[in-house]
Amino acid sequence: MPDSTFFIKTFGCQMNIRDSEIMAQKLSENGYIETSVLNDAELIIINTCSVRGKAEQKVFSMLGSLRKQKLTNPALKICVAGCVAQQEGQKIIDRMGHVDLVIGTQHIYKLPELLAQLSTGRTAINLSDTYEIPQYIPKIQGSQTTDFEPLEPARPFQFSRFVTIMQGCNNFCTYCVVPYTRGREVSRNAEDIVQEVDILVQSGVKEITLLGQNVNSYGSTNTVANGSLPYSFARLLRDVSRVEGLKRLRFTTSHPKDISDELIDCFSTIPNLCPQIHLPVQSGSDRILKRMNRKYSIASYLEKIDRLQSARPGIAITTDMIIGFPGETNRDFQDTMDLLERVRYHGSFSFKYSDRPGTAAASYAEKLSETEKGRRLQIFQNRQDQISLERNREYIGQTLSVLVETNMDGRLMGRSATNHIVHAAGVTGTIQPGAFVDAEIFHAGQHSLLGRLSE
């Protein structure tokens, strides 16, 4: 359906955001035109997340509301991608007769080809249940694939981009569906990654975030094409950081058990590596961490936090926390609160535990009531909010370098190297997105900082 308009709704993590970018690029290359208005689209793609029950419910409710749209416009094509697609496959088509295509995480590269099949009258296609080495991870040497080319500039904030360095996960944390929905761990060839970053930077990108489910184990298992093993993540960081013109480098997500001394050293030796790390801990209790199969203790986690803070004083540390894991006692929850007091995270993503079908934890007994999980979550979040505010106030009086994302009507918004949102008012309209400005912080909120631009 070249010349058709498409709309993508993305749920979930950065991996999904990056997958949506790849799908948008493949569609644009095949003559499709992106629209930001759902009702104008002739193709709607819902890129789904199954990490939490709530996100999954939102997907099904959105699909339900699209049923009417399909009835009034039978030519509309509806595609479900992402982790729910990989996990539920044919069941989505059986339950939602108006869905035309279900495409698992390993197959997004084939999207235009599958849509072409639909336009020849083929009824609903399900391509979700077979696992392949993800071919859409670009190979540069000896390959005809062009995915490493810079993405369309129309994608959100073109000066900061994600680059996928690996897919899948081998860890099997007992609450997580990722090893089932995204398969086993596969690392991309380092040369391809560096070349992709180079192309992006030459096209104007200032900030790169290297992306994977567990970037710290990059290069330790399986690589796609021409990769020599082992190839540590720290070495990759050094290689990428040397790309000429790259101003800021970040990475996500890290597994605490795989943070090496070599990686910690990078925070003192690589100047353009941002002073920020997201280090999901999930619980402050060793007993619960064991039940989660996380393979580290709180003592070893804290030791790594201390080393990171010494390697880069002022580093901003954020985390993920699951509250109310099966069997979590008041004592375990108190351990989590104690950890929060000890580390004083700059921010955290915290959620009530919810069963994900097919995971080990779903079969655990000792489930907590929704009320109790909600009560504990509230306590945790209230304290985190206070700490975030106190942490943010530490920046008052400091001058931070800000990468500008928007400048509208004299109101500027951007991010500091520590990944804080910074606003500044009364600035000149000549400052363009993608510029770096220095802002002296004079006010701090829970979620952002307010600054005035330095002369």
Which residue, 23 or 177, is less far from ligand SF4 as judged by CB? 177
Q: Which has the closest alpha carbon to 308: 350, 339, 274, 348?
A: 274
Which residue, 14 or 401, is less far from ligand SF4 as judged by CB? 14
**Residue 252 in contact with ligand SF4, rule: CB under 6 A:** no
Write out the two tokens for 366: 């000792």
**Residue 176 in contact with ligand SF4, rule: CB under 6 A:** yes
Residue 440 near residue 397 (C-beta atoms within 8 A)? yes
Which residue, 96 or 289, is less far from ligand SF4 as judged by CB? 289
**Residue 442 in contact with ligand SF4, rule: CB under 6 A:** no
Which residue, 178 or 208, is less far from ligand SF4 as judged by CB? 178
**Residue 79 in contact with ligand SF4, rule: CB under 6 A:** no
Q: Which has the closest alpha carbon to 242: 272, 265, 277?
A: 272
Strand partners, 78: 44
**Residue 179 in contact with ligand SF4, rule: CB under 6 A:** yes
Main-chain dihedrals φ then ψ at residue 78, nearest 5 degrees = -120, 125
Which residue, 171 or 232, is less far from ligand SF4 as judged by CB? 171
Smallest distance, ligand SF4 to C-beta of residue 308, A: 19
Among 171, 226, 381, 448, binds ligand SF4 (CB under 6 A): 171
Burial 54-86 (b: 16+ CB within 10 A, else e): ebbebbbebbeebeeebeeeeebbbbbbbbbbb
Which residue, 265 or 320, is less far from ligand SF4 as judged by CB? 320
E strand residue ranges, 84-159 = 101-103, 125-127
How far is the C-alpha of 391 from the C-alpha of 401, rounded, in Å?
18
**Residue 169 in contact with ligand SF4, rule: CB under 6 A:** yes
Smallest distance, ligand SF4 to C-beta of residue 254, A: 9
* Half-sphere exposure (Cβ direction) of 105: Cα atoms closer than 13 Å: 27
Q: Which has the closest alpha carbon to 333: 378, 389, 385?
A: 378
412 SS3 class:
strand
Q: Which has the closest alpha carbon to 175: 47, 53, 296, 338?
A: 53
Residue with tokens 């936090």: 305
Write out the two tokens for 215: 């970037």
Which bin fits 426, alpha (ψ -120 to 50), beta or left (φ > 0)?
left
Smallest distance, ligand SF4 to C-beta of residue 255, A: 5
Write out the two tokens for 152: 């369309």
Among 18, 77, 161, 255, binds ligand SF4 (CB under 6 A): 255
Question: Interface with ligand SF4 by CB under 6 A: which range of 112-120, 176-184, 226-234, 378-386?
Answer: 176-184
Among 79, 178, 322, 427, binds ligand SF4 (CB under 6 A): 178
How far is the C-alpha of 50 from the C-alpha of 57, rounded, in Å?
9
Residue 450 near residue 424 (C-beta atoms within 8 A)? yes
**Residue 48 in contact with ligand SF4, rule: CB under 6 A:** no
Question: Interface with ligand SF4 by CB under 6 A: which range of 17-25, 154-162, 171-179, 372-380?
Answer: 171-179
Which residue, 68 or 184, is less far from ligand SF4 as judged by CB? 184
How far is the C-alpha of 50 from the C-alpha of 12, rounded, in Å?
8
How far is the C-alpha of 163 from the C-alpha of 200, rounded, in Å?
10
Question: Interface with ligand SF4 by CB under 6 A: which range of 147-155, 175-183, 378-386, 444-452?
Answer: 175-183
Question: Interface with ligand SF4 by CB under 6 A: which range of 81-89, 115-123, 168-176, 424-432?
Answer: 168-176
Distances 212 to 2, 160, 219 between C-alpha atoms, Å? 32, 16, 12
Residue with tokens 């790259």: 246
Which residue, 173 or 224, is less far from ligand SF4 as judged by CB? 173
Residues in 201-220 that interact with ligand SF4 by CB under 6 A: 213-214
| Contacts of 353 by beta carbon, 8 Å cutoff, 6+ apart | 175, 322, 323, 324, 325, 326, 328, 361, 368, 373
Which residue, 106 or 241, is less far from ligand SF4 as judged by CB? 106
Among 103, 173, 246, 264, binds ligand SF4 (CB under 6 A): 173
Smallest distance, ligand SF4 to C-beta of residue 181, A: 10
How far is the C-alpha of 3 from the C-alpha of 412, rounded, in Å?
36
Which residue, 194 or 210, is less far from ligand SF4 as judged by CB? 210
Among 57, 73, 141, 172, binds ligand SF4 (CB under 6 A): 172
Smallest distance, ligand SF4 to C-beta of residue 175, A: 7
Number of residues that bind ligand SF4 (CB under 6 A): 10
Binding site for ligand SF4 (CB under 6 A): 169, 171-173, 176, 178-179, 213-214, 255
